[in-house]
């Protein structure tokens, strides 16, 4: 393997997907070079515990200048930006600048149950309300349309009788933890960083 594949991760919460990425760096072959968060959250602890550079950009304080600061903080040599539970909606100019260089996870089998307002337990509540046989998760490139970017990978899981939205959400989240590193590996192979 030649050049290092450098990943900048963005989070807003506990950082479960971030931890999955930390744990898979060596096996997949990428390096996390920075964590960007928009609030104080557990993901910061995970970065500190693993000596990963990190910064808090408080969206509530920065408001309109948030994405200008975000853009300045993404390392110039970044190969991929991973939104792992990052809540701010990415504006069109940032989507254009990082076209096909920014990915996101979503807790449904997109295009079903995607779009603005569909996140977290709301997605699984909708899946169960509609008596879907399958739930799942998706990793996709970020586009100006919320959850509308090109799909990279999906994982399907069967729903269970009498399952709560929280229980289903927990199972989908575990699937996301496995799917996200796989998606990065797929991108790396397609871009010539890994042998096929």
Torsion of CA 175, 181, 186, 191, to 10 degrees: 160
Known catalytic membership, residue 106? yes
Please count the CA atoms within 13 angstroms of the CA of 192 that sit on its side-chain side.
2
User: Which H or E run includes 165?
Assistant: helix 165-190
How far apart CA 38 and CA 61 sit, in angstroms, is 10
Which residues are within 8 A (CB) of 136 and not within 5 positions of it... i.e. 6 or more apart? 108, 109, 154, 155, 156, 157, 172, 175
Q: Which of 99, 106, 140, 155 is catalytic?
A: 106
Q: Which residues are catalytic?
A: 106
């Amino acid at each position: 393997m030649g050049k290092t594949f450098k990943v900048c991760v963005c989070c807003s919460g506990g950082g479960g997907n971030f931890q999955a990425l930390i744990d898979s760096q060596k096996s997949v072959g990428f390096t996390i070079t920075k964590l960007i968060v928009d609030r104080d959250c557990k993901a910061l602890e995970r970065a500190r515990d693993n000596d990963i550079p990190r910064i808090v950009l408080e969206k509530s304080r920065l408001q309109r200048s948030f994405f200008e600061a975000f853009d300045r903080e993404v390392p110039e040599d970044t190969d991929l930006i991973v939104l792992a539970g990052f809540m701010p909606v990415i504006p069109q100019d940032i989507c254009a600048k990082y076209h096909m260089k920014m990915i996101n996870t979503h807790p449904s089998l997109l295009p079903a149950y995607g779009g603005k307002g569909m996140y977290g337990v709301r997605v699984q509540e909708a899946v169960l309300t509609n008596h879907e046989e399958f739930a799942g998760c998706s990793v996709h490139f970020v586009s100006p349309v919320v959850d509308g970017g090109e799909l990279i990978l999906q994982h399907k899981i069967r729903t269970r009788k009498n399952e709560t939205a929280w229980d289903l959400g927990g199972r989908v989240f575990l699937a996301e933890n496995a799917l996200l590193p796989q998606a990065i590996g797929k991108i790396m192979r397609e871009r010539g960083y890994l042998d096929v």
